[in-house]
Amino acid sequence: MTVMLSHPLKHLDEMLPWNDKLQMLECISAVEEAPDVMTFSFRTPDHNWFRYAPGQFVTLELPVSPEPVMRTYTLSSTPSRPYSLAVTVKAQKDSIGTRWMLDHLRPGMQIRAYGPTGDFSLHNHPGEKYLFISAGSGITPMMSMTRWLHDCSPASDIVFINCARTPDEIIFHDELRLLATRVEALKLAFIVKQSAPRHAWSGLHGRIDRSRLELLAPDFIDRTVFCCGPEPFMRAVREALQAMGFDMARYHQESFQPAAETVVTPPSPATGSPDAASQAATVRFTLSGVEVECAADDTVLLAARNAGLKIPSACEFGVCGTCKVLCSSGETMMSHNGGIRDDEIEEGYILACCTRPIGQIEIDA
Ligand code: FES
């Protein structure tokens, strides 16, 4: 499903890059890829171009009822085609946000978004040769990186392994086969758990394991590995590689799991003990004029919630960067998982979901 562009395209040098603050995206196409899987492409209403690293993700604010939810999705598009970006999403059983996208998000609609961000990219971990291993919709960052290599470095040596439940559920199957005819050193392998007789599946059956890895990438030991899929899948890959003596410094993985529903953590109990008092912290939210006391092990995000304030959040474990806020005064302790850059930390930004206040602090929120 596509719509005609309603404004003329500008040259790239006339456009500003999209930044990672909250901004609007306008859906320009919604394409079915596989059962319960769709690709949504976006542009910005303000003629921005998209600057990101292949493999990064965005956080979308999805207007489901009764409350919007924040969901993080890896980009399947490539920054070598910077006028639009795309996410390819699979609605899992019981998913709320992704199901809303499949059922309601259509060309012409606008949603709010943060990003792109994330460390899982060959730009951050370049190698001589690559081994991309994915399961299900964990294929999306691999697709972004493969498209980028096709456009910008077509002599790249890539072994691309994807595991799916059935042949029908292999995402980007046709496009990958086409790419393999154009990128000489792109070797594809698909492993399915089951196939109906009608498919006449001639590929591999079963699961990824040590012998499969050796078979499909005999020179795996020389490759830089990117892996994305459910945690049991990634554990199997890690264990197989470790058992074969692979240098795990060249192994990179991205957790791929359905976005968690918002966790509402109960307020910390007030103890009133001298110890607790000495550990208590105070967070002043300068833009709202609200001040709240909290325990030293409360996060800034929890302190905000307890004060009735809303700081946008999605992953809540320091990956997506959605909850980034400026700490304008005071000391904090942050334990993040790559959702914030070093220069942002130097400027005083923190991730509210994984930062604890020390003493008195001020947050611009
Ligand atoms: S909510 Fe994702 S980094 Fe805080």
Rounded average pLDDT over 282-298: 92
What ligand 1 atom has the least distance to the C-alpha of 354?
4
CA 341 to ligand 1 centroid distance, Å: 13
Indicate whether 259 pLDDT > 50: no
Write the residue with the smallest CA distance to atom 3 of ligand 1.
Answer: 318
355 lines ligand 1 (CB under 6 A): no
- Cα dist from 32 to 1, 46, 74, 113, whole Å: 9, 27, 17, 22
Whose CA is closest to 228, among 206, 263, 255? 255
Pocket test for ligand 1, best of 261, 313, 345 (most atoms within 8 A of CB): 313
Query: What's residue 274's pLDDT?
Result: 40
Grade residue 148 by pLDDT with cuts at 50, 70 and 90: very high
Whether 339 lines ligand 1, by a CB cut-off of 6 Å, is yes
Residue 155 predicted with pLDDT over 90:
yes
- Work out the average pLDDT over 311-318: 84
Question: Phi/psi zone of residue 203: left (φ > 0), alpha (ψ -120 to 50 degrees), beta?
Answer: beta
Q: What is the DSSP letter of 2?
A: B
Query: What distance in angstroms lies between residue 301's CA and the mean position of ligand 1's atoms?
Result: 9
CA distances for 42 relative to 15, 17, 51, angstroms: 16, 14, 14
Statement: residue 89 has pLDDT above 80:
yes
Residue 337 pLDDT > 90, yes or no?
Answer: no
Report strand pairing: 157-164 vs 129-135: parallel
Domains of the chain by start residue, with CATH: 12-116 (2.40.30.10), 129-253 (3.40.50.80), 262-363 (3.10.20.30)
Mutate to test the pocket of ligand 1, among 351, 356, 363 (most ligand atoms within 8 A of CB): 351
Closest CA to 341 of 150, 56, 80, 134: 56
Can you say how many angstroms the Cα of residue 303 is from the centroid of all Cα atoms in its chain?
A: 26
pLDDT at 193 over 50: yes
As a whole number, mean pLDDT of residues 8-34 equals: 87
Residue 155's DSSP bridge partners are none
Per-residue confidence (pLDDT) for residue 222, from 0 to 100: 97
Q: What is the DSSP code (8-state) at residue 263?
A: P
| DSSP code for 49 | B
pLDDT for residue 357? 94
Pairwise CA distance, residues 40 & 74, whole Å = 12
Query: 219, 231, 145: which is closest to 183 by C-alpha?
Result: 145
Q: CB of 258 within 8 A of CB of 95?
A: yes
Ligand 1 proximity of 228 Cβ (cutoff 6 Å): no
CA–CA dist 147, 32 (Å, integer): 19
pLDDT of 196 higher than 80: no
Mutate to test the pocket of ligand 1, among 320, 327, 332, 341 (most ligand atoms within 8 A of CB): 320
Task: Give the Cα separation of 282 and 350 in Å (integer).
Answer: 16
CA of 186 to the centre of ligand 1 (A): 35
Q: What are phi and psi of 190, to 5 degrees?
A: -120, 135
Q: Which atom of ligand 1 is nearest to the CA of 314?
A: 1
Instruction: Please spell the DSSP secondary structure of 167-181, one letter per residue.
Output: GGG-TTHHHHHHHHH
Beta bridge partners of 130: 158, 224
Q: pLDDT-derived band of residue 190, with 50, 70 and 90 as boundaries? A: very high
Characterize the bridge pairing of strands 186-192 and 157-164: parallel
Least-confidence region, from 18-27, 107-116, 216-225: 18-27
Q: Tell me the CA–centroid distance for residue 314 and ligand 1, in Å.
A: 5
Nearest to 244 by CA among 269, 262, 224, 218: 218
- Min mean pLDDT across 20-29, 194-203, 254-263, 341-350 is at 254-263
